[in-house]
Amino acid sequence: MKTLDKVVYQIYPKSFCDADGDGWGDIRGVIGKLDYIQKLGVDFIWFNPMTISPQNDNGYDVEDYCQIDARYGTMEDVEELIEEAGKRGIRIMFDMVFNHTSTHHAWFQKAIAGDPVYKDYYIFKKGKGEGVPPNNWQSKFGGPAWEYVPQLDEWYLHLFDVSQADLNWENPRVCEECADIVNFWYEKGIRGFRFDVINLISKGCFADDPNLFDGRQYYTDGPHVHEYLKRLNALSFGRYDDVMTVGEMGNTTIENCVQYAGADTGELDSVFSFHHLKVDYKDGNKWTLMPFDFMKLKELLFSWQTGMQEAGATNALFFNNHDQPRAISRFGNDKQYRKESGKMLAVVNMMMRGIPYVYYGEEIGLPNADFDSITQYRDVESLNRYAIMKEEGAAEEEILAILNAKSRDNGRTPMPWSDDENCGFTSGTPWLPLAKRAGEITVEKDLADPDGIFAAYKKLIALRHEMSIIQDGSFIPLLQDHPSVFAFARQWKEESMIVLCNFYAEETTVHAETEGYTLLYGNYEDVIVSDEMKLRPYESVVLYRKDVEAE
CB 459 within 8 A of CB 511: no
Establish whether 267 is a catalytic residue: no
Backbone φ, ψ for residue 44 (5° rounding): -130, 150
Establish whether 196 is a catalytic residue: yes
DSSP notation for 229-252: HHHHHHHTGGG-SS-EEEEEETT-
CB 102 within 8 A of CB 63: yes
Measured between alpha carbons, how far is residue 58 from residues 13, 52, 166, 384 in Å? 10, 10, 17, 15
The residue from 248, 334, 379, 381 that is catalytic is 248
Polymer length in residues for the chain: 551
Backbone φ, ψ for residue 92 (5° rounding): -110, 135
Backbone φ, ψ for residue 262 (5° rounding): -75, 155
Strand ranges of the sheet holding 270-273, from the earlier edge strand across to the other edge: 270-273, 244-249, 192-195, 91-96, 44-47, 8-11, 355-359, 316-317
- CA–CA separation, 501 vs 487, rounded Å? 6
- Residue 507's region, left for phi above 0, alpha for psi from -120 to 50, else beta, is beta
Beta carbons within 10 angstroms of residue 52's beta carbon: 21
List helix spans (H) across 331-379.
Answer: 338-351
Q: Which 8-state DSSP code applies to residue 14?
A: G
The residue from 26, 196, 280, 363 that is catalytic is 196
- Which residue, 542, 365, 550, is CA-closest to 467? 542
> Is 125 in a helix, a strand, or coil?
strand
- CA–CA separation, 219 vs 204, rounded Å? 6
- CA–CA separation, 48 vs 71, rounded Å? 14
DSSP notation for 287-313: SS-----HHHHHHHHHHHHHHHHHTTB
| Chain Cα centroid distance, residue 313 | 18
β-bridge mates for residue 100, sequence order: 166
Cβ-count burial 528-543 (b if 16+ within 10 Å, e if not): ebeeebebbbbbbbbb
- CA–CA separation, 57 vs 51, rounded Å? 13
> Is 546 in a helix, a strand, or coil?
strand
Measured between alpha carbons, how far is residue 302 from residues 298, 355, 479 in Å? 6, 16, 11
Residues 6+ apart with CB under 8 A from 133: 127, 144, 145, 146, 148, 155
Annotated active-site positions, please? 196, 248
